Structure formats: structure tokens, C-alpha cells
Structure 1
Amino acid sequence: MATVTNGQARNPAKGSGGTNKALAAALKDAGCSYASLALRVNELGRRQGAEPHYDKASVTRWLQGQQPRGNTPELIAAVLSERLGHPLSPTDLGFLSDQQRPVVSRALVYGEDVAETLHTLAELGSTDISRRTLLGTVPFVAGALTSPQRAWLLWLVEHIEQCGPAGTDRLAALSSAGPVEQVHAMISMFDQMDNHYGGGGVRTSIVHYLSTEVIPMLQQRGVPPHQQRQLFAAAARLAAMAGWSSYDAGEYGLAQRYMTQGLRLCAEGGDRVLGGQILAGMSHLATSLGRPDEGVALARAGIATARSGGSPLGLMRLYAMAARGHAAQGHRRETGEALRAAEDQWGASNGPAHESPWVRFLDHHYLQAEAAVCYRDLGLAAEAERMAGESVSANADRRRRQAISRSVLATAHLQQNRLDEAIGAATEALDTLGSVHSERSIQALRDFRLRLEPLRREPLVKEFEHRSRGVLGMAA
């Protein structure tokens, strides 16, 4: 039984003197100093909504057997997983195990057994719905991104002849497939709600429908093989939507886990276009959470996946994701090449009716919005202003895209020393956020507010800071 010292749990199942030998060994293998571990745990915690303040003395206490508070063991595991290149759980590092949360570790794994994948996804969903008492905060683990990529690409090579393009005949069959038709109708409804109101407002409904309705369909015996493949593809799409809406709600660790499991289900459906789109979502997540190198790698895996899938729009999005990753690293030439490739794919498309249903929402205005973010990150303010302005004008019915593009437009104005226009665009973004439950939109505007720091004494900036506190919180 654990004892408690100074408000912290201490695990007796350690080495002599209460030392945590597992953590010490992982630190040594990773070549990670106490100070660098504490710094990275603080950074990762802040990215995920917490405000930790650890230092090397904290790490010394952990090595002496002290159990960190809250979700800190998961953050430590995430940091060391990233350093070592393979996933670790808190239990692997000698921290107290939590018998209610093993699914958090299992859901990071792209498993061989699809029956186990269904079980893991159903358990993750049911635990997620009651997450306030059972799941808690789930960290994003950058080190766990490599294994699903590798497993997926190996599967793709081994089954390349079984993955045909998503032609119109195959797509027509989807709409007359009984339960598949019902699932697709629900996916369309969730898509509309997500586009209009953000992922935070629809996330729980997607997770509940996937775990209580669709997964049980796939666990039934006697489903015809062609219908089962279509159901697996639809379930993969729902899992990806659960991931994307979790990302939009600021639940980054859950987003990673749903997308990973969705990728595994996609293999059963044999759908390369959808597989590419799931990898695009994972790429977006990785780049936004400070790993643009992984974002580029995931986008490239998606391009390899979808290249022969018969979907130029799907490839357009993947090249746009590659561009985002390159731009976040300051790589101008690579960003330009990726954006030109995305533009070429847009030109190659024969329109939504000839594309997979998974990518029909994509249009040229989507590409403009993504290009605006790239140009902003590269400091190319005039280009960012032009693209963001066109995106704002074209997306009146897509409130999340409106909010993000207005925030990018505000930054482009600021980069050109036009403070009045910058505050005006940011205020319009703030007004849009009143009807959108989207943490991504909020983060885009927080990024702009952070750039105002050198001008914080200006009256316009003070006024904006005061007005934005209710939505964005206090400035750091």
C-alpha cells in the first residue's frame, strides 16, 4: 500500500531507500539531465493547458520515490518517450499504476489484432464519456507517432493490390448498403455540426455513437465481407472525427489516440484516401504541438498512401500539411514546393462529385487558409494577408475557419506595423468565437495576443486585452 509524505504519494515498490530505479534508468538511456526533463515537462504541460513549475530538485524527489501530482507522471512518460523514440507508460517509469487507466497506454498502439482494436476503442470511448472521474488529462506523446506510421506503411506495402482507387462505382455502393447508409448519414450530420459550431460541441456525441452503435455492429458475426469493409471504413472515419473534435476541444492526447485507432480500422476497410486523411489529421496535430518534423513525416506517409487513391483533393490537403510543417521550421523553399504541389492537385481534381466522400468538404478556400498560416509562420506578411483575406471573404458559413483566418489576418497586419487594422481583425475573430466551441480557434487568437506583448502599453492593445479576457483568459 502506498504511503503519503508531505501530501505526495510514495510507492514502496521501489529499490532500496525508495529510489525509483526505472526512472533513473530511463533518464540515463535518454541522456536527459534533470533540468532538461523538468523544463520539457513544464513546456508540455503548458501546451496542454496546465501551469507546472518543476525544476531539477523536483526530478530529484521523483527519483527518491515521490509520486508527482495529477497527470505529471504521464507528462514525464511523454517526454522520455519522445527522447527514446518508443512509448513508455508511467508504470514503466516506476510510478504508481492506475488500474482505471490502462486503456490510455493501449490506445497509443497500432495493434495487429483488429478485435483487440475494437475493444480498446470501445473502452476508450466509454471511459472518455465519464472522463472527469476515470480518465483525467491525457497527454500527447510525440514519441508514439512513429510506430503507427511504420505499421501502416508496412501494411500498405503488403496489401497494395487490395487497395483500389475510390472510384464512383464503389462510392455509389456506399449509399445503398443498409446500416452503412445510416452511419454515413450520421457522419454527415456530425460534419455539419463540427463545421458550424466547432468540435467541442459535437465531440461527446461522436464518441458515444462510435462506441455504443458502430463498434457493436463490427463485433457481430455474419456481416457480409463487402459490407463489413465499408463499416470498418465508416468506423475509421468516426474515430478520426472523434480525434479531430478532441483536438478542436483541446484534448490533444485523446485526439492522438482516436486517430491512431482510426488508422488501424482504416486498414480493415482498405481505404487509402481515408488513410491519407487520418495521417493528415495526425500531421496537423504534431505540427501544432511543437513537432513539425513529425508533422512533415506524417504528411509524407499520407502522400505515399493516397498517391494512387484517385483523389486529388485528398492529396491537396496532405501537401498543405507538409507545407505547414516546413513553414513551422522556417523552410521557405520546401514550403513553396509543397504549396505548389497542393495547388497542382487542386487543378487536377474534377470536382467533389468525382472524389471520395471523405474529402468533398475540401475546396480552394481551404488551401488559401492553410497557405495563409504558412506565410504567417515564415514572416511573409503580404502573402499571408492576401490569402487570409480571401479565406475570410469566402467562408462566411464556416465559423471556425473564419475565426482562425481572421486571427491570421490580424497577425499579418501586425507584421506590417498596422496596429489599428490588426486589432480590428482580431476583434472580429473574437466576436466569431462567441458561437464556436473550438480550442484551435482560441489558440490562434492567443498566438496573436502574444505577439502584442511589445505593444502592451498602447491604448488599443490594453482595450483588446481587457475585452478578450473572457474568451482567451488572462495574458501570460
Structure 2
Amino acid sequence: MARKVNELGSLQGEVTRYDKASVTRWIQGMTPKGKSPQFVAEAISGFLGRPVSPVDLGFPQQARGPVAARALTYREDVGETLHTLAELGSTDISRRSLLGTVPFVASALVDPQRQWLLWLLEDEQAPHLAAVTEGGPVDQVKAVIDMFDLMDNRFGGREVRASIVHYLSTQLAPMLQQRTLPSNQRRTLHIYAAKLAATAGWCSYDSADYGLAERYVIQALRLCAEGGDRVLGGQILAGMSHLATSLGNPAEGVALARAGIATARSAGSPLGLMRLHTMAARGHAVLGASRQATTSLLAAGGALDRSRGPAEESPWVRFLDHHYLEAEAALVHRDLEEAAEAERLATASVEANSDRRRRQAISRSVLATALLQQNRLDEAVGTAGSALELLGGVHSERSVQALRDFRARLLPRRSEAVVRDFERKARPVLGASAA
């Protein structure tokens, strides 16, 4: 129990050293500090297979802004969603202290997933590839989305996040609340708002604001249903799956990926389906389910083969290609301890992404782990050092997470000089080690 709580905290940047004596104190009535009550609840939820809140366990209700709680809910009334999103964004930008460091709550992803699947079953008239209206505010918003995507790719999510949230909460959400908008424009703008909310979530993840990331993507999924875009909906579910798996909830990550696969099968988007199968493989690999992970990777490759190229796909998935699949598959093989295959794929990803520093840093970290798994310590540390240098020009929590994973694997060899030297260089970027 204590080990699981420590693991969940570490995944959200919290270093704790709880032991069995700590668990005894909690049973006796002591409340752990900070976000730890949420981690305790998440651990017990995993053991029981059902959601449990800190209050259910007898911990006092933690002070939290009302919007932080409401933003975890997928609401039927899209007007309430827009209001929640505008308030969340405004609080995020101008009154951040009211939000505090809201935690990621894995159990909160269950209901949005269920609501989306119900919408998918009930709305049989939803188009496979959503038609996008052009002209007026639609063109302006599309141009803004393109600009934000470019900035995110070049500089990382941390640098662009505030601008996205400000535009979404002060410009686009109020625009959608106007009753004079033509219905076809309103539908397209709901899709664009969903895209921006999902991007705000992804950028929040890149800033290590995991709780905010979760809240933005939940609201994004609801807006996407209003716009009826199944391709984008599948991609939002893929992002949710990535978030859940990366934060220690791989079973939920697999469930979210499967919901996305059910969405994408009827969406006419093989590239979108490829990403979702890959996310399922990621979750299976963390769970140690080798057969299921391999099956999912094969399905991802099959979907990629069926794609007729980016020009024939939705704009939301045109960034996906065989290089993306290589990079993610390397992570799968890393987690399955299949070091030679992880090395091959990570090397290919490093060579293919010379102009993308974030992807370079992640793939070099995975390559370093693959080398370490083959007892090639000096090569591994040298490769990780090059990944560390890349982080000087781009702020990306995903890249930091990959390097932290490598550093954690070095612990059995921490007495060696090359490891101690790497730890010293990495500490300013990765923070203190949990060891």
C-alpha cells in the first residue's frame, strides 16, 4: 500500500517515502499532507476495482475551488460546459492560487468515457468525418489553432499554454454563448473549441499540471460531442489514455483507448485508429501483458497500412505517420523489457526526428533505457546526457518523465562514478531522486 502511494505521488512529481508505519497512522486517523490523501484513495481504488474518494476513507474534505471540482464532470448541458471552461481558464490565468495544485483523479475519467460511448450509440446521425464550415469567425479561429500548434511543436507546451487558455476562455467560449451564431458555424466552432481545450490539456501535461490537464480534456470531450467530430473525439480519448497510463493507471489507459477505438472504427480515419491501438499497446505493456501489447501494435501497423496518406485524413491526425508509430512502439518494447527491439525503434526515431527536440529527447531517453537493459552502462548514460542537453531548449514534462524513468532504473548502480555524475547533472532538470 505504501509503495503504491509513493509510486502515484512520484508520477505527479511528489517525492514521498511512506512505509507500513505510515499506513498504520492513516488507519489510526492521521491525515497525510498535501495531495497524498488523493494518492491513498487512488491506490485503494485500484486495489478494489472501483472509485473511492478521500472523503470515503475518512479524510477531511480538502479545500478546493468549486470550478476545479465541476471541471471533472462531463455535463449534459453544453452551456454549463462552456461556462465551466471559461471560469476554469480565467481562474487558471488570473487567480491561479485559488486552484492550487489540483490532483489528477483517475476515477474521474470513468464517467466521461461512459457518457461519450452513450452519445456514440445514440447519435447515429453523427458524420464520420465532420464537415467544417468556412468563413467569418471560423476562419479566424482555425488560423489561431494553426498558430498555437506551430508554437507548441517548436517551443513546448509550457511556453504556449497560457496563450491558449486565455484565448479559449476569453474569446472562443464567450463567442459560442452568443445566440446569433448560425447553426453550421456554431457546430464547427464547438469542434474548434474542443480542439483548443484538448491542446490546453496537453500543454498542461507538458507543464506537469496533471490535474488541470485532466480537467481540460474532460471538457474537450463534451464539446467534441456537441460538434459531432468522431475523429477528434478519438484523439481526445487517445490523449486521456496517454495521461492515465503515464500517471500510473494503465488499466484505465487501456479502457480509454478501447473507447477511442470503438469511436474511430466508424470515423474513416486509419491514422487516428493507429494512434489508439498504439495507446492500448502502451497500457498493456505497463501491465506486463505482452501478448495483448503485441496484438495492439500489429493492429496499429495494419491501420497505418490502410491509410491513403495525410491528405485523405482529418486535419486532426495528419501529424501521425510511421515515425510516430516507431517512437511509441519503442516505449512499448522498453516496458516489456524487449531491449533489442526498443533500441532499434528508438534509434530510428532519433534519426527521423532531428528537427523535433521534444521527440528527440523522449526517444533518446528510451534508447538510453534500452542500452541499460543490455548492460551497456556507459553508452546508456551518454545517450541520456544528450537527451538532457536537448531539454535546455524546450520545456516538456513528457521528456522529463522519460528521463526520470531512466534515472530510476539506474538506482541499482548508483555507486558507480558515471551514474553519480549523471545524477549530479540531471538534478537541476529532473529534481531530486526518490531514492
TM-score normalised according to structure 2 size: 0.93
Task: Provide the rounded CA distance (Å) in 1 between the counterparts of 2:99 and 2:243.
Answer: 21
Task: Provide the rounded CA distance (Å) in 1 between the counterparts of 2:45 and 2:411.
Answer: 34
Task: Provide the rounded CA distance (Å) in 2 between the counterparts of 1:71 and 1:308.
Answer: 40
Which deviates further from its counterpart, 311-320 or 139-148? 139-148
The residue type equivalent to 1:120 in the other structure is T
Give the equivalent residue in structure 2 for 1:85: 50
Give the equivalent residue in structure 2 for 1:154: 118
Q: Is the 8 A contact 2:8 2:248 kept in 1?
A: no
How far residue 70 of structure 1 moved from its aligned partner, in angstroms, is 3.6
* Residue 98 of structure 2 corresponds to residue 163 of structure 1: no
What SS does the corresponding residue of 1:145 show, helix, strand or coil? helix
Q: Is the 8 A contact 1:282 1:298 kept in 2?
A: yes
Q: Is the 8 A contact 1:126 1:208 kept in 2?
A: yes
Mapping of residues 261-340 of structure 1, within 5 Å: 261-340=219-298
How far residue 284 of structure 1 moved from its aligned partner, in angstroms, is 0.4
Aligned residue pair count? 430
How far residue 414 of structure 1 moved from its aligned partner, in angstroms, is 1.0
* Residue 175 of structure 2 corresponds to residue 217 of structure 1: yes
Give the equivalent residue in structure 2 for 1:111: 75
Task: Provide the rounded CA distance (Å) in 1 between the counterparts of 2:358 and 2:136.
Answer: 33
Question: 1:375-434: per-residue Cα shift (whole Å, max 9, x none)?
Answer: 000111111011001101011121111100000001111111112221221111011111
How far residue 58 of structure 1 moved from its aligned partner, in angstroms, is 3.9
Judged with a 3 Å threshold, the aligned counterparts in structure 2 of structure 1 residues 385 and 118 are, in CA distance, closer, same or farther, namely same
Give the equivalent residue in structure 1 for 2:401: 443
Give the equivalent residue in structure 2 for 1:206: 164
Q: 1:227 aligns with which of 185, 193, 196?
A: 185
Task: Provide the rounded CA distance (Å) in 2 between the counterparts of 1:398 and 1:356.
Answer: 22
* Residue 91 of structure 2 corresponds to residue 133 of structure 1: no
Question: 1:140-190: per-residue Cα shift (whole Å, max 9, x none)?
Answer: 111122111111100110002x221217xx3xx44x232121111111111
Question: 1:243-302: per-residue Cα shift (whole Å, max 9, x none)?
Answer: 111111111111111111110110000000000000000000111111111111110100
Task: Provide the rounded CA distance (Å) in 2 between the counterparts of 1:281 and 1:264.
Answer: 14
Judged with a 3 Å threshold, the aligned counterparts in structure 2 of structure 1 residues 80 and 115 are, in CA distance, closer, same or farther, namely farther
Q: 1:415 aligns with which of 359, 364, 373?
A: 373
How far residue 94 of structure 1 moved from its aligned partner, in angstroms, is 6.5
Task: Provide the rounded CA distance (Å) in 1 between the counterparts of 2:68 and 2:249.
Answer: 21
What SS does the corresponding residue of 1:138 show, helix, strand or coil? coil
Q: 2:310 aligns with which of 326, 335, 352?
A: 352
The residue type equivalent to 1:327 in the other structure is A
Judged with a 3 Å threshold, the aligned counterparts in structure 2 of structure 1 residues 40 and 338 are, in CA distance, closer, same or farther, namely closer
Q: Whose relative contact order is higher, 1 or 2, with alpha carbons under 8 Å and at least 6 apart?
A: 2
What SS does the corresponding residue of 2:391 show, helix, strand or coil? helix
Q: Is the 8 A contact 1:84 1:143 kept in 2?
A: no
Task: Provide the rounded CA distance (Å) in 2 between the counterparts of 1:90 and 1:129.
Answer: 29
Which deviates further from its counterpart, 384-393 or 135-144? 135-144
How far residue 310 of structure 1 moved from its aligned partner, in angstroms, is 1.1
Q: Is the 8 A contact 2:327 2:345 kept in 1?
A: yes
Q: 2:88 aligns with which of 117, 124, 136?
A: 124
Task: Provide the rounded CA distance (Å) in 2 between the counterparts of 1:365 and 1:326.
Answer: 21
Question: 1:80-125: per-residue Cα shift (whole Å, max 9, x none)?
Answer: 6665734747599662563x61112211111111111111111111
Which deviates further from its counterpart, 417-426 or 454-463? 454-463
What SS does the corresponding residue of 2:392 show, helix, strand or coil? helix
What SS does the corresponding residue of 1:435 show, helix, strand or coil? coil
Task: Provide the rounded CA distance (Å) in 2 between the counterparts of 1:387 and 1:467.
Answer: 27
Give unmatched runs, 5+ long, in structure 1: 1-35
Give the equivalent residue in structure 1 for 2:23: 56
Give the equivalent residue in structure 1 for 2:11: 47
Q: Is the 8 A contact 1:81 1:142 kept in 2?
A: no
Q: Is the 8 A contact 2:26 2:32 kept in 1?
A: no
Give the equivalent residue in structure 1 for 2:382: 424
How far residue 462 of structure 1 moved from its aligned partner, in angstroms, is 2.2
Give the structure with higher Rg (CA).
1
TM-score normalised according to structure 1 size: 0.85
What SS does the corresponding residue of 2:180 show, helix, strand or coil? coil
* Residue 206 of structure 2 corresponds to residue 239 of structure 1: no
Give the equivalent residue in structure 2 for 1:364: 322
Which deviates further from its counterpart, 361-370 or 414-423? 414-423
Task: Provide the rounded CA distance (Å) in 2 between the counterparts of 1:373 and 1:290.
Answer: 15
Task: Provide the rounded CA distance (Å) in 1 between the counterparts of 2:56 and 2:410.
Answer: 42
Judged with a 3 Å threshold, the aligned counterparts in structure 2 of structure 1 residues 418 and 307 are, in CA distance, closer, same or farther, namely same
The residue type equivalent to 2:139 in the other structure is E
Question: 1:52-78: per-residue Cα shift (whole Å, max 9, x none)?
Answer: 4551354256x4xx7664444544555
How far residue 464 of structure 1 moved from its aligned partner, in angstroms, is 1.6
Q: Is the 8 A contact 1:399 1:436 kept in 2?
A: yes
